[in-house]
Amino acid sequence: MKLAEKALLYEVSATPKPGLVDRNNAGAHHDMDYYTFLDSSIALMDYFYNCAMAGLTFDGPDYRMLLEGIRPIGIKAEHSMFEVTNGVNTHKGIIFSLGIISAAAGLHYKNHGSRFIPAEEISQLVKLMCDGITEELKNVDYKRSLTYGEKMFKKYGVKGVRGEAESGFKTALQHALPLLKDLINAKVNINDILVHILLALIANTEDSNILGRHNMEMLEYARNKARTALSLGGYLTPEGKEFVWEMDRDFIQKNVSPGGAADLIAVTMFLYFLENGDNILYTRG
């Protein structure tokens, strides 16, 4: 599904992204770079298509079964990712998020046949597909080996990507998508738009990637940095841009990587493309 692929490539290409892999540096990472992300993104192309087809062919009243149906496809996609990255996790969260949205898009097309799909309608389908998935976190057998998300829930009560999906990606819909639309309509450069909405997402996300490396104090530190950047105009003013570049240096030095917020950039772009099409050429330059 080329729109999902395009969303992934836009996200990784946005520069600078404090603490994250971009075209300028590898952020707070030592096992991956920009080209690792390109390889991983390309390896996932068939996965998004397969998820969309699962939605298109789904037949049943309980949309939660569609989520169950794409889980094996997601596991196969993870294997493809690890194969091309030599075992490095570049896109595990995105495999979950964009896979669900791809399936929801296929289901919506089956039900309505519309070329452009309102983000709110995708969100409602995602909620139905993911109803109750955070309950899995509460019922985990803590005697076994835990997943990353399970560890974060046990330690901090943070629901992570499962909570985002169960809410229909509420954070992206509330804090990023309206901003994205406004800035595209204002013909702001697409790179600057993406960096700017990253700041909004860092400021409003309980980022499990930051928590996994640090603690609640560092999460709040990162969120406050993003809020300060936004108060200076974000990536739309000279003062804000200077602050964001300094944020990047600071986050790298402190080993802070807001990967959860980065994933939500891709979610936001994908929702935008599904709703409006992918022709945003006037944001170039």
Tell me phi and psi for residue 169, to 5 degrees. 60, 50
Predicted pLDDT of residue 9: 97
Q: How far apart are CA 102 and CA 105, in angstroms?
A: 5
Structure tokens at 104: 């929801």
Percent of the chain having pLDDT more than 70? 96
Amino acid at 231: S
DSSP assignment, residue 270?
H
pLDDT mean across residues, the chain: 94
Residue 143 has pLDDT above 60, yes or no: no
Residue 165 has pLDDT above 60, yes or no: yes
Average pLDDT over residues 152-181: 95
The candidate with the shortest Cα–Cα distance to 271, out of 129, 169, 184, is 169
Question: Which distant-in-sequence residues (6+ apart) come within 8 Å of 226 by Cβ?
Answer: 199, 200, 202, 203, 247
Q: 81-101, pLDDT tens digit by residue? A: 999 999 999 999 999 999 999
Residue 139 has pLDDT above 80, yes or no: no
Average pLDDT over residues 30-53: 97
Q: 225-249, pLDDT tens digit by residue? A: 999 999 999 999 999 999 999 999 9
Instruction: Sketch the domain layout of the chain as residue ranges.
Output: 2-283
The candidate with the shortest Cα–Cα distance to 188, out of 91, 51, 280, is 280
Amino acid at 128: L
Structure tokens at 220: 């709040």
Predicted pLDDT of residue 283: 58
Cα-based distances in Å from 203 to 148, 151, 220: 22, 23, 9
Predicted pLDDT of residue 54: 98
Rg (C-alpha) for the chain, rounded Å, is 18
Question: Which distant-in-sequence residues (6+ apart) come within 8 Å of 189 by Cβ?
Answer: 283, 284, 285
Predicted pLDDT of residue 52: 98
The candidate with the shortest Cα–Cα distance to 230, out of 240, 220, 221, is 240
Average pLDDT over residues 136-147: 73
DSSP assignment, residue 279?
-
- The owner of tokens 């109803």 is 131
Residue 50 has pLDDT above 80, yes or no: yes
Predicted pLDDT of residue 137: 81
- The owner of tokens 């971009």 is 22
Least confident of 39-43, 148-152, 154-158, 200-204: 148-152
Residue 284 has pLDDT above 70, yes or no: no
Average pLDDT over residues 189-197: 98
Predicted pLDDT of residue 285: 52
Predicted pLDDT of residue 226: 99
138 confidence band (pLDDT: 50, 70, 90) = confident
Question: Which distant-in-sequence residues (6+ apart) come within 8 Å of 157 by Cβ?
Answer: none
